Structure 1
Amino acid sequence: MTSPVRALWDAPAAVPAPPRRVWRDWVLVGVIPALAVVEASVRTDVPWRWLWAIVLAALAPTLLWRRARPFTMLAIAFAVGTTVGLATAGDPQLFTTAYFLILLYAVFRWGSGRAMIAGGAIVVIGMLLTFVATPPEVADVIGGVAVAVTTATLGLAVRWRRRARTRELEQVRLLEREQLARDLHDTVAHHVSAIAIQAQAGTAVAATDPGATLRVLHAIEAEATRTLREMRAMVGVLRTPDDALAPTPGLAEIRSLERVDAASPAVVVTLDGDLDTVPQAVAAAVFRIAQEAVTNARRHARGATRIEVGVKVDAGGVRLEVRDDGGGAASTPSFGYGITGMRERAALLGGTCDAGPAPGGGWVVAATLPRAGWTA
């Protein structure tokens, strides 16, 4: 076999799987026999009309299994129809016979590659045998072939369109999963890191300063409460289509990252420019990048005493810089997904995000989100 034929032969059945049976199928099975009887009683000039009416009525139930067994139902219908046509030396002239096209459509819409090839062969053989038994006019041959090809093409078109739509939905789901993974990582990592640092500080002073231990426990309780609140907000977004529940922090919420205590480096936030001109999606991305950068600095900056977070909004866009005064790398690019997530967030909005050692010591994360990236 050539490659295209081999590819078609090996093609699986349509995905997603079709419904086994719907109410329309029962309507067709009930209406078609009635139409065949009415047509046979009206068209008295059609030879063997009552025989054909009985055959068409008897074959109508094949429509009930046309999705689950498309090739089998098509083979039964065309085999019986062709046999009766050869026995009566004539083709069926009742218009009700047109429902066979539904079976042909089903093969190309729902069947596997083998079913499509075999179904097409059965239709061609059935038409040839009928033409041999009763030589038709050229116009009838062209018309019959055109109708069969159009029906098969329609089935393929609907099949491919549905498959393309399914792939689009899968891509959207993947993007949503990536977005959720970034949000979960940024939120959980930030708060859990704060809890871990506070717990370490509490362990260090527990024996000498019970009062400090109590303050540390209160701080841990506050961080855990904030973590639960943000996690519940995310779960709420997944459980309801109401966009109003979406956890979309803005630039002003970056101030919530500020922290001054002896157990961890002080976090100082500076906001400059007209924050209200920044779209919500961009502001949320800047907040998450800043949150992740602060978390990395608190976890990895050795000996750091200060973390500076600066946000500047101007005509060009938004610029974010998170800098610490620690010794050595404040983040480890080869581990985790933090830096990758920050870069992905910036890239989705047409911006950039870089992380590396600062010239004067410490570590710096710099992100730029130009207005052209979110207004295009």
Structure 2
Amino acid sequence: MGLLRGIRPVDAVLTAVLCGLGSLLGIMNVLSDDPTTRIDSHSWLMVPVFVATALPVLWWRRLPVGVILLSGTAMAVHVVAFGAVVRCGSGLPLSFTLAFLSGLAERTRVRAIAVFASGVLTALVLVRDTAAGVELLPVALVLCGVLFGIARVLAHHSAMTRDLRQRNEDLRRLRDERAALDVTDDRLRLSARLEQLLDQRLGQLARAAEDSAAITDPAATRAALTTLEEDSRRTLADMREIVGLLRGGEVSLAPVPSVAHLDALLTRHLRSASALRVSGEPRMLPASVELSAYRIVEHLITAFARDETAAVDVTVTFGDAELEIRVAGPAGRRVDLREAIGRARERARLHAGSLTVRTARGRARVVAHLPVLTGV
């Protein structure tokens, strides 16, 4: 398997074609009885030697210079052993192929040695060729140079394409990292807010407990205890709300945006042609889900609003186990959705949800699914 490492199917096909040409030309030389064409040898051995000149092409990706040297050595043996015969029919295609492959080599020194060796191989093919002759050598060398130049252009274009693809991937990764950093920053601020809330509410509860202990009237005591209970429940509810926001990764302290605020959001950012539709059975969802749904829509319509003529359709569907959000808007040059989609997708991922994007007929359609845990 080590001998075949790095060989691609296209390499095998190319080598098979060149070996086939060499075999065919060798057989024609052996069987030739044309008195107008000089054939010094009719030995069948020239067929395997022709094949030996083309077979090294199979490994051109690993050893470009070595392949051309092996092919040139085999061609020199053919010239010395069999004298004047027809070689251009398979030798020139081999030389042109190797000149082109030389231009695909990555290192400059390797390319220079390989293309020079291709020129030497071309001279060996024509030096004792009885069909084309050495007179054709200048033209053949020019063709080798042209093919080498074409290969260099293709290699440069391929390198630019790979570099552009890598840059796009880096930008996409940086966009995702930025969204994640924003979420982390929000969580840190919420943690500080939670600590502040706990200190404030615990102090209030302690003072209320001290005040109620000094009251002797039963009715006043019951009223104080009722107030203490309500304050405790309100503190617990606030804590649950902030913990829910920490799980959802968004910060908004007063008031917390929710699905109910989407209508005002569209009115603030978009033209009157935009529409909000709500289907299913609307109900209160966990604060983190409501907040993430609001932010997903906010990210997207903020991007769509860059087109002043944009008409955006937002559909929110309350399902039994998930909240589905559909946002459709223009996908023209004035609207760049990449960053907004990256931030919205990060929101969906925080809830183990998904977000997909489809563009057709000048409209971008974004669909987000946020799972809703029941019984929590």
1:152-171 superposed matches below 5 A: 152-171=148-167
SS at match of 2:255: strand
1:112 corresponds to:
107
Q: Does 1:21 align with 2:3?
A: no
1:296 corresponds to:
none
Q: Does 1:102 align with 2:117?
A: no
Q: Which moved more, 1:45-54 or 1:128-137?
A: 128-137
Q: Does 1:148 align with 2:144?
A: yes
Report the alpha carbon displacement of residue 55 of structure 1 after superposing the two structures with TM: 1.4
What TM-score, normalized to structure 2? 0.53
Report the alpha carbon displacement of residue 158 of structure 1 after superposing the two structures with TM: 1.8
Structure 1 runs not aligned, ≥5 long: 1-18, 231-255, 262-268, 289-311, 318-345, 350-376
* Residue-pair matches, total: 248
1:39 corresponds to:
25
> % of aligned pairs identical?
14
Q: Does 1:199 align with 2:195?
A: yes
Report the alpha carbon displacement of residue 36 of structure 1 after superposing the two structures with TM: 2.9
What TM-score, normalized to structure 1? 0.53
Question: In structure 2, how many angstroms separate the alpha carbons of the residues matched to 1:258 and 1:106?
Answer: 65
1:82 corresponds to:
76
SS at match of 2:61: coil
1:220 corresponds to:
242
Question: In structure 1, how many angstroms separate the alpha carbons of the residues matched to 2:71 and 2:134?
Answer: 25
Report the alpha carbon displacement of residue 316 of structure 1 after superposing the two structures with TM: 9.0
**2:175 aligned to 168, 172, 179, which one?**
179
1:1-376 superposed matches below 5 A: 20-43=6-29, 44=32, 45=34, 46-48=39-41, 50-86=44-80, 88-90=82-84, 93-97=87-91, 98-128=93-123, 140-206=136-202, 208-209=204-205, 210-227=232-249, 257=252, 259-260=254-255, 272=268, 274-275=270-271, 284=299
- Closer/same/farther in 2, CA of residues 313 and 258 from structure 1, 3 Å limit: farther
Question: In structure 1, how many angstroms separate the alpha carbons of the residues matched to 2:86 and 2:254?
Answer: 86
Question: In structure 2, how many angstroms separate the alpha carbons of the residues matched to 1:117 and 1:313?
Answer: 53
Question: In structure 2, how many angstroms separate the alpha carbons of the residues matched to 1:272 and 1:92?
Answer: 83
Q: Deviations over 1:43-77 (max 9, x none)?
A: 51554464442212123331221111111111111
C-alpha RMSD of the superposition: 4.3
Q: Deviations over 1:159-186 (max 9, x none)?
A: 1111010111012112212321232233
Report the alpha carbon displacement of residue 22 of structure 1 after superposing the two structures with TM: 1.8
Report the alpha carbon displacement of residue 115 of structure 1 after superposing the two structures with TM: 0.9
- Closer/same/farther in 2, CA of residues 220 and 143 from structure 1, 3 Å limit: same
- Closer/same/farther in 2, CA of residues 259 and 158 from structure 1, 3 Å limit: same
Which has the larger Rg? 2
SS at match of 1:151: helix
Question: In structure 1, how many angstroms separate the alpha carbons of the residues matched to 2:127 and 2:28?
Answer: 28
- Closer/same/farther in 2, CA of residues 156 and 207 from structure 1, 3 Å limit: same
- Closer/same/farther in 2, CA of residues 65 and 80 from structure 1, 3 Å limit: same
